[in-house]
């Protein structure tokens, strides 16, 4: 059995507690009260309740940590060195449509470096967790990115820009990227939950993942998972400012450079 640090244990406990409320609400998804945050971007009572639970649990255990949370934004509390980066319900649109593919995502940043991550998918009770230097895990099993070497054998995940996300030129740029990748790989998947896409790269289920216009809470935990599973994470152009740019490319070491080149050469359509 894999040994968890005190920090990971705290994060897992908080994720499980928040997820219990999500699962209850998921069973009554048609009765949820939903308000619009913006075009095609919804926030539910379930989302807000989960964030409140996470904040309370994490703050009680680590009062010196700051927070960056999807719904309530950044807090200036804490020691200035540590912060939790939290998405209480990644995959909100899936959740609200009754699709059982969503997650609680918690990342930890110390002095600007991501050092720990937890991604919990409650409908399958899959707890992905990782800490710098300690490897990546799914429940009690150690994870490793896939060993596929050829693009033609690879299944690549992505996130399609939706209404209100990015400009029309951004959409055309993405379509060009998808067309370029589509001609090189065994398949492309779009499942709508970036934190789980990254967790699946760490688990070797996907061979790679790319997306633009993400927020830090969408990918903070997943970045740690992929790196600790032996994978590579960067911006599409090779940069390392994913949390700032919102652009990310994750894959195993054999495909990362080639996938990056395909994406960079792609022309808008």
- Give me the sign of the Cα torsion angle 92, 64, 125, 4: positive
Cβ-contact 25, 46 below 8 angstroms: yes
pLDDT of residue 45: 85
CA-to-CA distance for 191 and 198, rounded, in angstroms?
11
Q: Which long-range contacts (CB under 8 A, 24 or more apart) does 171-175 make?
A: 172/268, 172/269, 173/266, 173/268, 174/212, 175/268, 175/269
Q: Are 173 and 206 in contact (CB under 8 A)?
A: no
What is the tens place of the pLDDT at every residue in 21-80?
999 988 887 666 677 665 445 667 889 999 999 999 999 999 999 999 987 778 777 788
Do the domains spanning 6-142 and 151-265 agree at the CATH topology level? Answer: no
Give dist(CA 143, CA 141) in Å, integer. Answer: 6
Host H or E run for residue 34: strand 34-38
- The whole-number pLDDT of residue 41 equals 55
What pTM does this model have?
Answer: 0.93
Q: Is the dihedral of CA 251, 255, 256, 260 positive or negative?
A: negative
Residue corresponding to tokens 């830090």: 216
Which two structure tokens, joined as six digits, stand for 259?
A: 């996938």
Q: Give the pLDDT of the chain (269 residues) as one tens digit per residue.
A: 578 999 999 999 999 999 999 999 888 876 666 776 654 456 678 899 999 999 999 999 999 999 999 877 787 777 889 999 999 999 998 998 889 999 999 999 999 999 999 999 999 999 999 999 999 999 999 999 999 999 999 999 999 876 555 555 667 888 999 999 999 999 999 999 999 999 999 999 999 999 999 999 999 999 999 999 999 999 999 999 999 999 999 999 999 999 999 999 988 88
Give me the residue spans of the domains in the chain. Answer: 6-142, 151-265
Distances in whole angstroms, Cα of residue 182 to Cα of each of 5, 105, 177, 207, 214: 41, 29, 8, 14, 22
For residue 158, what is the enclosing H or E element? strand 155-158
Domain 151-265 has what CATH class?
Answer: alpha beta
CATH code reported for the domain at 6-142: 3.30.540.10
């Amino acid at each position: 059995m894999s040994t968890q640090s005190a920090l990971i244990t705290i994060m897992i406990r908080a994720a499980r507690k928040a997820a219990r409320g999500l699962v209850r609400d998921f069973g009554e998804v048609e009765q949820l009260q939903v308000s619009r945050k913006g075009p095609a971007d919804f926030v539910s009572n379930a989302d807000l309740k989960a964030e409140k639970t996470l904040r309370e649990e994490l703050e009680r255990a680590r009062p010196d940590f700051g927070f960056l949370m999807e719904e309530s934004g950044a807090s200036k509390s804490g020691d200035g060195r540590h912060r939790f980066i939290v998405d209480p319900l990644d995959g909100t649109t899936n959740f609200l449509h009754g699709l059982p593919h969503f997650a609680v995502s918690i990342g930890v940043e110390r002095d600007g470096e991501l050092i720990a991550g937890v991604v919990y998918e409650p409908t399958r009770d899959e707890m992905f967790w990782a800490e710098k230097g300690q490897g990546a895990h799914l429940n009690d099993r150690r994870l490793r990115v896939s060993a596929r070497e050829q693009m033609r054998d690879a299944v690549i995940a992505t996130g399609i820009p939706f209404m209100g996300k990015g400009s029309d030129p951004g959409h055309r740029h993405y379509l060009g990227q998808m067309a370029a990748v589509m001609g090189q790989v065994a398949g492309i998947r779009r499942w709508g939950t970036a934190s789980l896409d990254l967790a699946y790269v760490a688990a070797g289920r996907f061979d790679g993942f790319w997306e633009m216009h993400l927020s830090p809470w969408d990918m903070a935990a997943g970045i740690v998972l992929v790196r600790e599973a032996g994978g590579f994470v960067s911006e599409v152009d090779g940069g390392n400012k994913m949390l700032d740019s919102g652009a990310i490319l994750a894959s195993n070491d054999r495909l990362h450079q080639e996938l990056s080149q395909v994406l960079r050469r792609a022309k808008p359509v």
